[in-house]
Copies of this chain bind each other. A is one copy, B any other.
Amino acid sequence: MKMTGKPEATWRMPNQLASMISELRHLVREKTFRAGEQIYAQGEPSNSFYFVVSGLVQISIFRIDGVEIVLEKMGPDTICGEATAFAGLPSFSSAVATEPTTVLEFEARRLPDLFREHPEFALILLRLTSLKQRVLALRLEQMVSNKPEERVLELLTRLGEMFGTRHAKGNMVRTRLTHEMIAAMTGVSRVTVTRTLKRMRESGTLYLDDGYFVISPAHAERLDVG
Contacts and interface: CB of A to CB of B under 8 A. Distances in A.
Contacts of A139: 140
A66 interface: no
Nearest to A43: B225
Contacts of A141: 61, 63, 69, 92
* Copies of the polypeptide in the assembly: 2
Given A131-B87, A144-B186, A146-B146, A126 B136 contact: no
A interface, by DSSP: helix, strand, loop or mixed?
Answer: helix
A47 interface: no
A134 B42 contact: no
A100 interface: no
A71 B87 CA distance: 20
A222 to B, nearest CB: 7
A130 to B, nearest CB: 4
A119 B120 contact: no
Contacts of A217: none
Nearest to A226: B92
Contacts of A93: 137
A20 interface: no
Interface stretch (A2-10, A110-118, A168-176, A201-209): A110-118
Interface of A: 42-43, 61, 63-64, 67, 69, 71, 82-90, 92-93, 111-113, 115-116, 119-120, 122-123, 125-127, 129-134, 136-141, 143-146, 186-187, 222, 224-226
17 contacts: A43-B225, A43-B226, A61-B226, A63-B144, A63-B145, A64-B222, A69-B144, A71-B140, A85-B130, A87-B131, A89-B134, A92-B138, A111-B126, A115-B122, A116-B119, A129-B129, A145-B187
